[in-house]
Amino acid sequence: MATTQPSNVDTANLPRPRAKEPDVVGRQLNRALTVLVVLTALGMLGFSALLTLGDQLIVGRSDAGAPTEDRDTVRLPGAIPPVEWVDGRPGAPVIALTFDDGPDPEETPDVLDVLSKHDVRATFFITGRHVTVERDIVRRIVDEGHEIGLHSYNHSRMGDLTASEVLRQYELNQRVVVGFTGVKPVIARPPYSGQITFQSERELWAARVAQEQGDLTMIFSEVMPRDFDGLSAAEIARQSIPEDGASAIITLHDGAGPRPLQTAEAIDLLIPELKQAGYEFVVASEYGGIEGTATVAVGERLLNFFVAQSASLFVNLRDWLRLLTWIVAPLFLLRSVGLIALAWMQARRRRPAAEDFAPGVTVIVPAYNEEVGIADALDSFLLQNYDGPLEIMVVDDGSSDNTIEEALGVRQVRVLSKPNGGKASALNAGINAASHDFCVLVDGDTVFEPTTVADLVRPFADSDVGAVAGYPKVGNWATNLLTKVQNVEYIVGCTLLRQAQEGINAISCMPGAVAAFRKSALDEVGGVPEETMAEDTDLTVALGSAGWRLAYVPQAVALTEAPIDLLTFWKQRIRWTYGVFQVMWRHRFASAESTDGNGYRRKVLAITLLDLVLLPLTPLTDVFAILAVITGQVGPLVWAVGLTIVMHLITTGVAVRLERERLGVLLHAPIQLLFFRYFTLMVTVTAISSALTGRREKWNKPKRVGLNVESANISKPATRQLVGTSND
């Protein structure tokens, strides 16, 4: 409710802020884009699991070696070549050149160039997963008159799969080919099949399933040189010539074996020799006198187009996830090790502060509807064990509750009132009215320990220090699980991150809860910036860029109130993240006369980019690792992701140990890891969507419950007075 200002309250002569125009369209667009981004990301990950890394769930997975020479002599009725052609195709000698395992971006174009040179058509048995990546090569195969056959989706050994998995291997292979080319192959060759005989009855059964239930014709081979073994072009050509001038299907490879293959060079030698021997060249379906393709209806083409596009998208997503893992995992490991090492070294070399340095200090408390807890906060400021002059000032930013009355109820507190204009404008009003050369800027929900002001001010004995950060702790950490995990975050952030940043002169934020500033430094950079929603970070970067040294004093402890519910926490983190994005953009090209300032800014922007953009992407690497484990593809990347998780827990343990916190805090570390990794990703996505739509986030007033001075082991002082009496 509105209140009447007591007569002893100063009123700042500041212009009222301009009324903000409603941004209904921007707000709606932002929300819609956020929902769309989140749903799209979840959908992409889900389909990626099914169509790429989750092949085992859809088409089965079986990694096998190259075919062996030791084979049974069973035949598959209905396959090409048929049983009666084992000794050579009747009639004029013909050759069907076939190529397995492609398309490959390097080998297949070379093969096509040679075939075009000699005006020969061939059959390419291609794998579906390669098609999704090399669609242009597949289209070139069709456009140049060659034939396409199926070679499964992911090159599994068919004998290891179930009947439904065998059928899905070929079906998905067929769908992506239809989707990209409009051609529907109905001929196929199983991976690892080689010539017309199989290694086992199980593989014979799988081929029969594909023929009888999948309406496919199996195409095998009568001649198969081992070009995948790294043979020379001349040796491959020699092994490819049929015995006694017989007709034959020849199997070569354009997508397997050592790189580079010698297949293209081999057929450049082979084709002229076979033509000279009287051979004609046909495709595999012509060799068997069958149809190699089926008619595709318009609806079927449209459906398969979407299947092919989705499969291609998700294969690319898999590759991006792998690349992201290779980038993020090492960065996270280096960051964790660096934090521990730098923080430890900085703690050891920290210089003792000047004990007798006690200049005049003004504690400035910006307040907007802070009636809950502000009196207790002021009590803690007044009871500081500080030898120098100490002024306590509350700047009321147009509160509509009883903030002014609560502040006036505390003796020796100066109250300044101004129209609502935001936290930064309130801080600037207080700085302009401050009586002393050093200012402590503090939130209205914060309680100081008895020596906090003295600890904050001592580093200013060095004239190059422009600002000093204290150690904000979660005062209400025991409230619920959310406050407990925030407590873990604060411990790691202050004990390791801020201390490590100080060690390389790259402190990125003087926390709004507890920080002190040299007034002349504030005047040099124009006071607290009002252009962003992260005024503390913006001011810090401005000071560092101007060449001022920034210090951190872990002994200067302040207890702050953390959000106690998810909605409040969400709004707070959106504002913080959005504000830091604004700061990064604002200072990206800022110039500084000081060389040290330029170096500081570059370091801070790099650290912020890592922490705010790259590290929030770690949940995507988790998805990659989980899916890789599900599909049995555990490798170095999976171990790297696992190691990042272990390093996070180790980092938390080191921070708890250095801070001498109770060991029970470690029980919340795994929950903090799992929760914050995914929560931060959603916050980052939402903040980016706000930035892209140009919508300015609102300053959301958090719900306050209040701390009390007992939280800081302070006795309740006799500082209360009747509202309306003089503060002088």
For the stretch 533-570, pLDDT in tens is: 888 888 999 999 888 999 999 888 999 888 888 888 88
Show the tokens assigned to 690: 């706000």
Residues 494 and 395 in one domain: yes
Does position 110 have pLDDT exceeding 90, yes or no? yes
What Rg, from alpha-carbon coordinates, does the chain have?
36
In the prediction, which pLDDT does 103 show?
A: 93
Q: Please name the residues in contact with 334: beta carbons below 8 A apart, sequence gap of 6 or more.
A: none
Written as one letter, the residue type at 79 is A
Outline where 245-372 has alpha helix (H): 263-276, 284-288, 298-349
In the prediction, which pLDDT does 657 show?
A: 78
| Mean pLDDT confidence for 418-443 | 90
In the prediction, which pLDDT does 698 show?
A: 52
Task: Specify the range with the lowest mean pLDDT, choosing from 228-242, 302-316, 385-399, 581-595.
Answer: 581-595
Distance CA 277, CA 268 (A): 15
In the prediction, which pLDDT does 12 show?
A: 45
Closest by CA position to 184, among listed 150, 146, 221: 150
Distance CA 418, CA 443 (A): 17
In the prediction, which pLDDT does 492 show?
A: 83
Tell me how many degrees the CA angle 591-597-601 measures, rounded to the nearest 5: 75
Does position 360 have pLDDT exceeding 60, yes or no? yes
| Mean pLDDT confidence for 690-715 | 54
Residue 504: Cβ within 10 Å count? 15
C-alpha separations of 97 from 57, 82, 231, 315, 656 in Å: 34, 17, 18, 30, 68
Residues 287 and 352 in one domain: no
Task: Specify whether the CB–CB gap between 535 and 511 falls below 8 A.
Answer: no
Q: Which of 393-407, 451-465, 704-718 has the highest mean pLDDT?
A: 451-465
Percent of the chain with pLDDT over 90: 25
Residue 271 binned pLDDT confidence (cut-offs 50, 70, 90): very high
CA torsion through residues 49, 53, 59, 62, sign: negative
Written as one letter, the residue type at 464 is D
Residue 36 binned pLDDT confidence (cut-offs 50, 70, 90): low
Q: Please name the residues in contact with 299: beta carbons below 8 A apart, sequence gap of 6 or more.
A: none
Task: Specify the range with the lowest mean pLDDT, choosing from 136-140, 241-245, 320-324, 445-449.
Answer: 320-324
| Mean pLDDT confidence for 519-524 | 92
| Mean pLDDT confidence for 184-206 | 79
Closest by CA position to 159, among listed 205, 226, 125: 205
Note if the bond before 272 is cis, omega within 30 degrees.
Answer: no
From 146, 151, 253, 587, active-site residue: 253
Pick 682 or 34 by higher pLDDT.
Answer: 682
| pLDDT tens digits, 563-604 | 888 888 888 888 888 888 888 888 876 555 445 566 888 888
Residue 722 in domain: no
Q: Does the annotation count 387 as an active-site position?
A: no
Outline where 423-552 has alpha helix (H): 423-433, 452-457, 481-492, 499-503, 519-524, 535-545
Does position 724 have pLDDT exceeding 60, yes or no? no
Residue 226 binned pLDDT confidence (cut-offs 50, 70, 90): confident
Q: Does the annotation count 253 as an active-site position?
A: yes
Distance CA 148, CA 126 (A): 7
Residue 612 in domain: yes
Residue 310: Cβ within 10 Å count? 19
Distance CA 4, CA 12 (A): 16
Residue 643 in domain: yes
Task: Specify whether the CB–CB gap between 572 and 533 falls below 8 A.
Answer: no
Does position 122 have pLDDT exceeding 90, yes or no? yes
Residue 82 binned pLDDT confidence (cut-offs 50, 70, 90): low
In the prediction, which pLDDT does 17 show?
A: 39
Distance CA 438, CA 65 (A): 74
| Mean pLDDT confidence for 202-220 | 90
Residue 40 binned pLDDT confidence (cut-offs 50, 70, 90): low
Task: Specify whether the CB–CB gap between 445 and 474 falls below 8 A.
Answer: no
Residue whose tokens read 């598959």: 76
Residue 364 in domain: yes
Residues paired with 468 in a beta bridge: 516, 551
Task: Specify whether the CB–CB gap between 581 and 532 falls below 8 A.
Answer: no
Average pLDDT in the chain: 78
Task: Specify the range with the lowest mean pLDDT, choosing from 107-116, 172-181, 297-306.
Answer: 297-306
Does position 482 have pLDDT exceeding 70, yes or no? yes
Residues 256 and 136 in one domain: yes
Distance CA 516, CA 364 (A): 10
Does position 261 have pLDDT exceeding 50, yes or no? yes
Distance CA 539, CA 468 (A): 12
In the prediction, which pLDDT does 613 show?
A: 72
DSSP string, 130-166: HHHH-HHHHHHHHHTT-EEEE--SS---GGGS-HHHH
Show the tokens assigned to 199: 């290694």
| Mean pLDDT confidence for 227-253 | 89
Residue 307: Cβ within 10 Å count? 18
Written as one letter, the residue type at 440 is V
CATH of the domain at 511: 3.90.550.10
Residue 55 in domain: no
User: 394: helix, coil or strand?
Assistant: strand
In the prediction, which pLDDT does 629 show?
A: 58
Residue 421: Cβ within 10 Å count? 20
Residue 250 binned pLDDT confidence (cut-offs 50, 70, 90): very high
| Mean pLDDT confidence for 124-138 | 91
Distance CA 603, CA 501 (A): 9
User: 346: helix, coil or strand?
Assistant: helix
Q: Please name the residues in contact with 178: beta carbons below 8 A apart, sequence gap of 6 or more.
A: 184, 296, 300, 301, 304, 308
Give residue 74's Cα distance to chain centre. 53
Residues 348 and 277 in one domain: no
Burial class (CB in 10 A: 0-12, 13-18, 19+), 291: exposed
Distance CA 543, CA 530 (A): 15
From 100, 227, 376, 536, active-site residue: 100
Q: Please name the residues in contact with 235: beta carbons below 8 A apart, sequence gap of 6 or more.
A: 225
Q: Please name the residues in contact with 636: beta carbons below 8 A apart, sequence gap of 6 or more.
A: none
Written as one letter, the residue type at 547 is G
Q: Please name the residues in contact with 175: beta carbons below 8 A apart, sequence gap of 6 or more.
A: 128, 304, 307, 308, 311
Residues 499 and 566 in one domain: yes
Task: Specify the range with the lowest mean pLDDT, choosing from 171-185, 345-359, 362-376.
Answer: 345-359
Residues 170 and 264 in one domain: yes
Residue whose tokens read 């109130």: 561
Residue 619 in domain: yes
Task: Specify the range with the lowest mean pLDDT, choosing from 70-79, 288-297, 321-330.
Answer: 70-79
Number of domains in the chain: 2
In the prediction, which pLDDT does 54 show?
A: 42
Task: Specify whether the CB–CB gap between 50 and 58 falls below 8 A.
Answer: yes
Does position 237 have pLDDT exceeding 50, yes or no? yes
Pick 701 or 104 by higher pLDDT.
Answer: 104
In the prediction, which pLDDT does 89 show?
A: 63
Rounded to the nearest 10 degrees, how much is the dihedral formed by the CA atoms of 535, 536, 537, 543? 100
Pick 611 or 220 by higher pLDDT.
Answer: 220
3-state secondary structure 1-62: CCCCCCCCCEECCCCCCCCCCCCHHHHHHHHHHHHHHHHHHHHHHHHHHHHCCCHHHHCCCC
Q: Which of 112-126, 437-451, 546-560 has the highest mean pLDDT?
A: 112-126
Length of the chain, in residues:
728
Residues 81 and 135 in one domain: yes
Residue 703 binned pLDDT confidence (cut-offs 50, 70, 90): low
Distance CA 562, CA 445 (A): 9
Residue 550 in domain: yes
3-state helix, strand, coil in the chain (%, to 5): 50, 15, 35
Residues 277 and 346 in one domain: no
In the prediction, which pLDDT does 46 show?
A: 53
Which residues constitute the domain of residue 703? 10-14+324-712
Distance CA 312, CA 319 (A): 11
Closest by CA position to 486, among listed 497, 496, 499, 473: 473
Residues 334 and 260 in one domain: no
Task: Specify whether the CB–CB gap between 487 and 661 falls below 8 A.
Answer: no
Closest by CA position to 456, among listed 440, 473, 479, 475: 440
In the prediction, which pLDDT does 7 show?
A: 40
Residues 490 and 423 in one domain: yes
Q: What is the pTM of this model?
A: 0.61
Residues 292 and 333 in one domain: no
Closest by CA position to 23, among listed 699, 701, 694, 702: 694
User: 312: helix, coil or strand?
Assistant: helix
Task: Specify whether the CB–CB gap between 508 and 541 falls below 8 A.
Answer: yes
Give residue 351's Cα distance to chain centre. 38
Residues 280 and 154 in one domain: yes
Does position 72 have pLDDT exceeding 50, yes or no? no
Residue 705 binned pLDDT confidence (cut-offs 50, 70, 90): low
Percent of the chain with pLDDT over 70: 75
Distance CA 295, CA 272 (A): 35
Give residue 596's Cα distance to chain centre. 32
Q: Which of 140-154, 491-505, 542-556 has the highest mean pLDDT?
A: 140-154
Residue 118 in domain: yes
Note if the bond before 185 is cis, omega within 30 degrees.
Answer: no
